[in-house]
C-alpha cells in the first residue's frame, strides 16, 4: 500500500526522536489527505477515504515532500470547503483540524521534512505539551495498516483522543508554569488554543490563593460544626452559621442567668476551692457535655424557677446573715484541714459541709 | 481508678484557671457586700458585678493570646474610667483595622451572618472571615467552660 510504503520508508530510521518525527509526519500525512478530500469536489462521505487512497501515492508523497504543502495547509482557503463538508464528515470540530494542521505546519515550515531530522528533533522535545500528543498519534500508523474502510473511524477517535490529550495537557499545564509558557507560545499562533491557555495562566496564582483560603475557611467551619451540638447534620454554610450564632447567643444568655443566680445565692458557705472541686468532680463524672445539650433547652425554665425563688431566698437570707459572719472567721482556721481532708474522703467531706450549714 | 477531680490532673487548664480566678473574685464581691441584701437593686448591682467578674476572669485566664480576649480586656478596662485618650487611640486602631481587614472578597457567601457573628464575638469587627471563625471556635469553647463552672458553683451553693 502506498501509505504503508510511505510509513515504511519513513520508519526505516528508528531512533526515539526520529520516531516522534515520523509520527508527526504521519499525522501530517493524514491532515494532507483530509485537505485533499476537502478540496476534491467529488468527495461525499467519510467513506471517501477510499477515494483518498485512490489518490495516487505520488500525490500524497508529493504533498509530504513538497514545501508547498505547508502553504497548502496554512492557507485559509479550505475554510469554505470545510463548511461544505462539515455535515458529511464525522469530525466534530473542523476548526480543530485547521489548527492542528497549521500547528504541524510549524514543524514543516521550520525545515525540510525528510532531510533535516536533527533540526526537527529538538523541536518535538522542546514542546513538552506535544509529547503527549505524539502518543495517540502513534496509534494512527498502527491502525493504517489495518483495514482501510475503518480508517475513518479510528482517525475520528484519534482526533478526539488528540483533543482530549491536549485538554489534559492544558489541565496539567495549569500546575506547571513552564508548560503554561509553552502553551502560550503555541497560543500566539493559534487563536482557539490562545483562549484556553490565557484562562489557565491568568488565574493561576489567584485561583491557587483563593482555593487555599476557601479550604482554610471550610476546615474552620468543620471545626465549628463539631463544637456546636447538632450542627453536623446541617448542610449549607448559611444555616450552619445561623446555628453557630444561636449557640453563642444562648451561651452568653446562660452566663447572664447563672450570674444572676449566683448574685441571689447567699454565700453562707466558705468559698473553699477544694470542697467545690470535689463537689464538681461528682457531677463531672456524670457526663460533661451531654449535660450541655439540656441546658440549652431548659435555661428559660430555670430562669422562671430562679425568679420565683428570689423572694423566698430573701427571707432565708435575713435569718442566716448573722451566722454567716461568724463562719467567715472560722473558715480561716478550717481551710488547711479541709484541704487535707479532701484528699482522703472527698465527696463525704463536701456533704458534711453542706450538712453543717 | 480515676482521680475524682479532673482539674487537679491539669492545674493549668483553662477550666481550673477560670475557676480559681472566678471564685476569688466572687468571694471578694461577697465580702464587699453590705449586710442587707434584700433590695432587688442590691441584687441587681451584685449581678452586674458578678457578670463582670466572670467575664474578666475568663479574659484573664486566656490572657492576650486571643484577639477576643484582648478586646474584652480592653473593654473592661475602659468601661469604668472613660479616659478620652485611651478611647481615641483605640478607636483609631480599630478604624485602621476595619478598613484593611474587610475586603470585598471576604463577604462573598457570608454577608449577613458574618456581621451578626462579628457583633457577638468581642473584637470581631476588625477581623476577616477566616480569623473570625477561628476566634469564634475558641470563644465558644471558653464560654462553655464558663457556663459549666458557674453552673456547678450555683448548684453547689443552692440547696
Expressed in angstroms, the distance from the first to the final Cα of chain B is 30
Assign A91 to helix, strand or coil. Answer: coil
Number of Cβ atoms within 10 Å of the Cβ of B29: 18
Residues of B in contact with A295 (CB under 8 A): 147, 151
* Helical axes B40-62 vs B14-32, angle rounded to 10°: 150
Q: Cα–Cα distance between B67 and B123 in angstroms, integer?
A: 7
Say if residues A200 and A182 touch (Cβ distance below 8 Å).
Answer: no
Number of Cβ atoms within 10 Å of the Cβ of A75: 13
Residue B131 has which C-alpha cell? Answer: 480569623
Report pLDDT digits (tens) over A125-163: 444 444 444 444 444 444 444 444 444 444 444 444 455
Residue A7, pLDDT above cutoff 80: no
Number of Cβ atoms within 10 Å of the Cβ of B12: 6
% of chain A surpassing 90 pLDDT: 3
Residue B21 has which C-alpha cell? Answer: 480566678
pLDDT at B21: 84
Report pLDDT digits (tens) over B5-44: 777 778 788 888 888 888 888 888 777 766 556 677 877 8
Q: Cα–Cα distance between A263 and B41 in angstroms, integer?
A: 11
Report pLDDT digits (tens) over A261-275: 887 776 555 555 555
Distance, in angstroms, between A333 CA and closest chain B CA? Answer: 17
Distance, in angstroms, between B61 CA and closest chain A CA? Answer: 16
Give the DSSP letter of residue A228: S
Nearest Cα to Cα of residue B127 among B94, B156, B158, B152: B94
pLDDT higher at A306 or B46: B46
Residues of A in contact with B3 (CB under 8 A): 281
Which of A255, A268, A301, A345 best probes binding to B when mutated, by most B CB atoms within 10 angstroms?
Answer: A255
pLDDT higher at B113 or B121: B121
pLDDT at A251: 92
Residue A167, pLDDT above cutoff 50: no
pLDDT grade for A103, boundaries at 50, 70 and 90: low
Report pLDDT digits (tens) over A62-98: 555 555 544 444 444 444 454 444 445 454 455 555 5
Q: Cα–Cα distance between B6 and A280 in angstroms, integer?
A: 9
Q: Cα–Cα distance between B64 and B49 in angstroms, integer?
A: 22
Per-residue HEC secondary structure of A208-234 comes to HHHHHHHHHHHHHHHHHHHHCCCCCCC
Is residue B58 packed enough to be buried (19+ CB in 10 Å), middle (13-18) or exposed (0-12)?
Answer: buried
Do the chains contact at A261 and B110, CB–CB below 8 Å?
no
ipTM of the complex: 0.81
Q: For chain B, what is the total number of helices (H) and then of strands (E)?
A: 7, 0
Residues of B in contact with A301 (CB under 8 A): none
Say if residues A44 and A25 touch (Cβ distance below 8 Å).
Answer: no
pLDDT grade for B99, boundaries at 50, 70 and 90: very low
Distance, in angstroms, between B52 CA and closest chain A CA? Answer: 9
Q: Cα–Cα distance between B16 and B28 in angstroms, integer?
A: 18
Residues of B in contact with A352 (CB under 8 A): none
Nearest Cα to Cα of residue A63 among A29, A106, A34: A29
For CA atoms A26, A31, A37, A40, give the dihedral sign: negative
Q: What is the mean pLDDT of residues A340-349?
A: 42
Average pLDDT of the residues of chain A: 55
Nearest Cα to Cα of residue A357 among A270, A271, A261: A270
Give the DSSP letter of residue A309: H
Assign A314 to helix, strand or coil. Answer: helix
Amino acid at each position: 500500500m502506498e501509505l504503508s510504503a510511505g510509513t515504511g520508508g519513513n520508519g526505516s530510521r528508528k531512533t526515539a526522536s526520529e520516531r516522534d518525527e515520523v509520527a508527526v509526519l504521519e499525522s501530517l500525512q493524514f491532515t494532507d489527505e483530509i485537505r485533499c478530500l476537502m478540496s476534491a469536489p467529488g468527495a461525499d462521505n467519510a467513506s471517501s477515504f477510499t477515494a483518498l487512497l485512490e489518490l495516487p501515492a505520488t500525490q500524497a508523497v508529493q504533498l509530504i515532500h513538497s514545501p508547498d504543502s505547508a502553504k497548502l495547509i496554512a492557507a485559509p482557503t479550505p475554510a469554505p470547503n470545510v463548511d461544505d463538508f462539515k455535515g458529511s464528515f464525522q469530525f466534530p470540530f473542523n476548526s480543530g483540524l485547521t489548527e492542528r494542521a497549521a500547528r504541524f505546519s510549524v514543524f514543516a515550515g521550520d525545515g525540510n521534512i525528510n532531510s533535516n531530522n536533527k533540526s526537527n528533533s529538538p523541536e518535538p522535545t522542546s514542546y513538552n505539551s506535544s509529547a503527549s500528543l505524539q502518543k495517540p498519534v502513534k496509534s494512527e500508523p498502527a491502525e493504517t495498516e489495518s483495514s482501510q474502510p475503518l480508517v475513518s473511524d479510528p482517525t475520528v477517535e484519534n482526533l478526539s483522543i488528540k483533543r482530549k490529550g491536549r485538554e489534559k495537557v492544558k489541565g496539567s499545564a495549569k500546575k506547571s508554569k513552564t508548560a503554561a509558557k509553552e502553551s502560550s507560545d503555541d497560543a500566539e499562533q493559534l487563536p482557539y488554543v490562545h483562549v484556553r491557555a490565557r484562562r489557565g495562566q491568568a488565574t493561576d496564582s489567584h485561583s491557587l490563593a483563593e482555593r487555599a483560603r476557601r479550604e482554610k475557611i471550610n476546615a474552620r467551619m468543620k471545626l465549628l460544626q463539631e463544637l456546636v451540638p447538632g450542627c453536623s447534620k446541617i448542610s449549607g454554610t448559611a444555616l450552619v452559621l445561623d446555628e453557630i450564632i444561636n449557640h453563642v447567643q444562648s451561651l452568653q444568655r446562660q452566663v447572664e442567668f447563672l450570674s444572676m443566680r449566683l448574685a441571689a445565692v447567699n454565700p453562707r458557705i466558705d468559698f473553699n476551692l477544694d470542697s467545690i472541686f470535689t463537689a464538681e468532680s461528682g457531677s463531672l463524672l456524670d457526663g460533661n457535655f451531654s449535660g450541655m445539650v439540656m441546658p440549652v433547652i431548659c435555661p428559660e425554665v430555670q430562669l422562671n424557677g430562679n425568679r420565683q425563688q428570689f423572694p423566698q431566698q430573701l427571707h432565708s437570707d435575713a435569718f442566716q446573715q448573722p451566722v454567716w459572719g461568724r463562719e467567715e472567721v472560722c473558715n480561716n482556721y478550717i481551710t488547711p484541714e479541709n484541704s487535707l481532708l479532701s484528699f482522703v474522703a472527698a465527696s463525704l467531706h463536701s456533704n458534711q459541709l453542706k450538712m453543717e450549714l | 481508678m480515676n482521680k475524682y477531680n479532673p482539674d487537679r490532673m491539669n492545674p493549668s487548664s483553662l477550666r481550673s484557671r477560670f475557676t480559681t480566678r472566678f471564685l476569688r473574685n466572687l468571694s471578694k464581691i461577697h465580702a464587699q457586700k453590705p449586710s442587707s441584701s434584700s433590695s432587688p437593686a442590691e441584687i441587681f448591682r451584685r449581678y452586674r458585678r458578678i457578670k463582670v467578674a466572670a467575664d474578666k476572669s475568663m479574659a484573664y485566664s486566656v490572657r492576650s493570646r486571643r484577639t477576643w480576649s484582648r478586646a474584652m480586656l480592653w473593654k473592661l478596662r475602659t468601661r469604668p474610667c472613660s479616659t478620652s485618650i485611651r478611647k481615641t487611640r483605640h478607636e483609631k486602631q480599630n478604624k485602621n483595622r476595619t478598613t484593611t481587614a474587610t475586603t470585598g472578597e471576604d463577604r462573598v457567601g457570608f454577608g449577613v451572618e458574618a456581621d451578626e457573628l462579628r457583633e457577638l464575638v468581642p473584637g470581631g469587627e476588625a477581623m476577616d472571615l477566616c480569623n473570625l471563625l477561628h476566634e469564634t471556635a475558641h470563644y465558644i469553647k471558653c464560654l462553655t467552660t464558663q457556663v459549666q463552672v458557674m453552673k456547678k458553683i450555683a448548684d453547689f451553693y443552692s440547696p
